Amino acid sequence: MQAGFSFSIQSRQGKARAASYQTPHGLIETPAFVAVGTQASIKSLSPEQAKDAGTQVIFANTYHLYLRPGQDVVAKHGGVHKFMNWHAPVLTDSGGFQVFSLGASIEHGVGKIANIFPGEEGGILSSAAIRSKKGKSLVKIGEDEVRFRSHIDGSEHIFTPEKSISIQRQLGADIILAFDECTSPLHDKRYTKKSADRTHRWAKRCLDYSASHDPVHDYAQMLYGIVQGGAFQDVRTESAQVIASMPFDGIAIGGNLGNTLTDMYAILDWTIPELPDDKPRHLLGIGDIPSIFEAVERGVDTFDCVSPTRNARNGGLLKRFDDEGKTLDKFRINIRNAKFADDTRPIDEDCSCYTCKHYSRSYLRHLFKAGEQQAHSLATLHNLQFMADLMTEIRKSLHEGYFVDLKRDWLEREPAT
């Protein structure tokens, strides 16, 4: 474990565990939800507002910050914490996911990763080329490096494992991720295996770079390896074994997690038993409530996902029960609905968030209909508080031994009447 860090498991129930995760920028009580602040800002909130809503740790994106404002600018401020005035733990990804999805797609209308064509072989630098529907090569993946274009201005850039770690060290997050190729459900087993093997070679290069360079800032960083292998059991299991055998500080589970929640649960069942018990485990990009319960049960410690904050900005407010006490579909209401026009009640009478303490459904709907930015802020505050409160309840249930009951309570649906 790096200096300034400790990961101490306090309670267990089956494979699930609750831990105290100390970082140079403060404590993370796990299981924890990591709020997304892609461009070094939690969209529509000040850091103090996010903190007040129970947010312990945030996720910023290396790809975005590399392109804008640039890691040198962030480093000049003393790192991402000082740059954005967030004096609590931060995690950055490696840039890989965006290189392989956003970089290849956004400005070219091919959507996100699921819509990108599987790569084809060819070229000295590239063993695979992801192409836009127009046939123009936008990402070239080689053994040594990945070439991609900026979604902002189309300029060409190169990432290597070493460069990703170098950028992340300048950004200065507490937790950083090894550079990996994120395959899609459209990739076949042969390609997925080939890609995972390369990701393992890149993982070693990330560790070597890290071991041979002094920290940029005056604190250490935890470097996580990433398990790949798609939805193929033997590839996924092997990837877990390889990454587990390397001297990473923690493990992230990434890549293609299958097409259904059941696929994902199976992937977790293959992966987690291969991982060391004493290292923290992060599940990348997952934040829906059933998945959180299922993944915690299987031994995941932390989660990140844009959905609570993105849904908030679309008027999707997290809530467990409807006004008749029935479990809500997808655990949310759409506050833009006309039925809330003169509803003076808070979103949730039992919620402790700032929004529920001070504002009515009617006012929130008004802000959304009127296009006011405060709509986004108030909705985001509520959703982050909801996630924080859920994780607090999960931690409590692990400490007190009722996690299985809590999970059943949350996920069991009333029979159709």
Q: Which residues bind a copy of itself (CB under 8 A)?
A: 39-46, 49, 64, 68-69, 72-73, 76-77, 83-85, 341-342, 344, 354, 358-360, 362-363, 365-367, 369-370, 372-374, 376-378
Contact yes or no for 282/253 (Cβ under 8 A): yes
CB of 339 to a copy of itself, least distance (A): 13
**Which residue in 93, 249, 301, 389 is the catalytic one?**
93
- If the CB atoms of residues 82 and 157 are measured against a copy of itself, the closer one turns out to be 82
**CA 232, CA 185: separation in Å to the nearest integer?**
10
For residue 172, give the DSSP letter: T
Q: Annotated catalytic, 322? A: no
CB of 323 to a copy of itself, least distance (A): 18
Smallest gap, in angstroms, from Cβ of residue 181 to a copy of itself?
Answer: 26
Taking the least distance from each CB to a copy of itself, the nearer of 93 and 249 is 93
Distance of alpha carbon 258 from its chain centroid, rounded? 17
Minimum distance of a copy of itself from residue 35's CB (angstroms) = 14
Alpha helices in 53-187 (DSSP H): 62-67, 71-76, 80-84, 96-100, 102-105, 161-171
CA–CA distance, 220 with 168 (Å, rounded to integer): 12
- Alpha-carbon distance 251 to 276, whole Å? 9
Is 93 among the residues known to form the active site? yes
Nearer to a copy of itself, 76 or 326 (CB): 76
Distances (CA, A) of 104 to 110, 111, 276, 329: 8, 9, 35, 34
| Whether the Cβ atoms of residue 58 and residue 33 lie closer than 8 Å to each other | no
Residue 117 or 354: the one with the smaller Cβ distance to a copy of itself is 354
Sign of the CA dihedral 156, 160, 229, 173?
negative
- Candidate list 174, 304, 348, 389, residue with the active-site label: 304
Residue pair 279/249 in contact by the 8 Å Cβ criterion? yes
Smallest distance from a copy of itself to CB 235, Å: 37
Q: Of 47 and 161, which CB lies nearer to a copy of itself in the complex structure?
A: 47
Give the catalytic positions in this structure: 93, 304
